[in-house]
Amino acid sequence: MTDQTKEELPELSDQEIKDFLESAPLYARRRYGLPTVNRTSLHIQQIDDHCDVCGERRPFGDIRPKGGGSGMAVPRLDTGRSYFEFTCLTCRRASRRYYVVQFVTDEHVDIEKAGQYPRPRLPRNRHVQRFMADDAANYEKAIACLANAYGIGAFAYYRRLVEDNIGRLLELVREDAAASSSGTETLAALEQLGTNCPMAEKIKIANDAVPAHLKPDGLNPLGRLYGALSEGIHSLSEEQCLNQARLIDQCLAFLLAELADRKKHREEFKRSVGGL
């Protein structure tokens, strides 16, 4: 039975530890089979990460001076804690520190990430980030919840972000519509969205407030955003909340990227033609 358990588990190797340090969220615990080579610690030489100083992904190595330890018996890997410290090998300025707790039995090794400094970069969309610059604290919490799959938290933060910023978003749609010839219908619908009509009505109006070029295959991002606002957070499961949060994130990312692109193209065109 022991052999079978061993086979099913990935072996604790340098590569597995590297993957774990680089990608596991805080307090994630993973189980590995016992290492076949004699390991005295979890220590590894290098990880890779995005370096903020260098501005790109770089190798980070352990450049601390090695301790003497001569004459001391080398202990085998045992239950305990491990500390890792890596420095960017290019700039030698950025560092990554990890604190890991390991539980060793005769059959497997469990490791848990108990600390990480600095806080890891979270996957984010640059358009949404720029748009939410004044609401950065809530946006950070929203993407942190999303990255850790905390659905209820993520949905609550994303809803708050949309509620507090929908006016500015509509203003961007209005600007885009005012600059295009087919914008009359859109502008009229946007007027109505500003009024205090019930949410169900707003979802319907939002459909007209978005011009066709912002509705890929008829999918209306603004309507979906209003739809997400109308969902009662209490009636949804953790999984459904997570999906709603992802939906909001993607609708915002799409709308803001498209609007920014169109604005940029308009300005470039005006500049080049206006100069002739």
CB of 65 to Zn ion, least distance (A): 20
Q: Provide CB contacts within 8 A for 37, sequence distance 6+.
A: none
Number of chain positions touching Zn ion (CB under 5 A): 8
Where would I find the H helices in the chain?
A: 2-8, 14-23, 126-131, 136-147, 151-178, 184-193, 199-209, 221-230, 238-274
CB of 56 to Zn ion, least distance (A): 8
Using CB under 5 A, pick the residue from 9, 26, 34, 54 that binds Zn ion. Answer: 54
- Residue 53 contacts Zn ion per CB under 5 A: yes
CB of 42 to Zn ion, least distance (A): 24
CA distances for 206 relative to 3, 67, 182, 224, angstroms: 60, 66, 16, 9
CB of 134 to Zn ion, least distance (A): 30
As to burial, measured by CB atoms within 10 angstroms (0-12 exposed, 13-18 middle, 19+ buried), residue 110 is middle
Site for Zn ion in 93-122 (CB under 5 A): 94
CB of 136 to Zn ion, least distance (A): 24
Query: Using CB under 5 A, which of the segments 8-16, 53-61, 117-125, 259-267 binds Zn ion?
Result: 53-61
Closer to Zn ion at the Cβ: 90 or 116?
90
Where would I find the H helices in 49-198?
A: 126-131, 136-147, 151-178, 184-193
Binding string to Zn ion for residues 144 to 173, with x set by CB under 5 A, is what? ------------------------------
CB 40 within 8 A of CB 102: no
Distance CA 182, CA 179 (A): 9
Query: Using CB under 5 A, which of the segments 56-64, 105-113, 132-140, 248-256 binds Zn ion?
Result: 56-64
Distance CA 114, CA 125 (A): 28
CB of 19 to Zn ion, least distance (A): 21
- Residue 242 contacts Zn ion per CB under 5 A: no
- Residue 47 contacts Zn ion per CB under 5 A: no
Closer to Zn ion at the Cβ: 54 or 172?
54
Length of the chain measured in residues: 276
Query: Using CB under 5 A, which of the segments 52-60, 136-144, 177-185, 234-242 binds Zn ion?
Result: 52-60
CA distances for 203 relative to 104, 123, 126, 166, 253, angstroms: 55, 29, 27, 13, 19
- Residue 236 contacts Zn ion per CB under 5 A: no
CB 152 within 8 A of CB 238: yes
CB 98 within 8 A of CB 83: yes
Closer to Zn ion at the Cβ: 97 or 213?
97
Site for Zn ion in 61-100 (CB under 5 A): 88, 90-91, 94
* Residues engaged in binding Zn ion (CB under 5 A): 51, 53-54, 58, 88, 90-91, 94
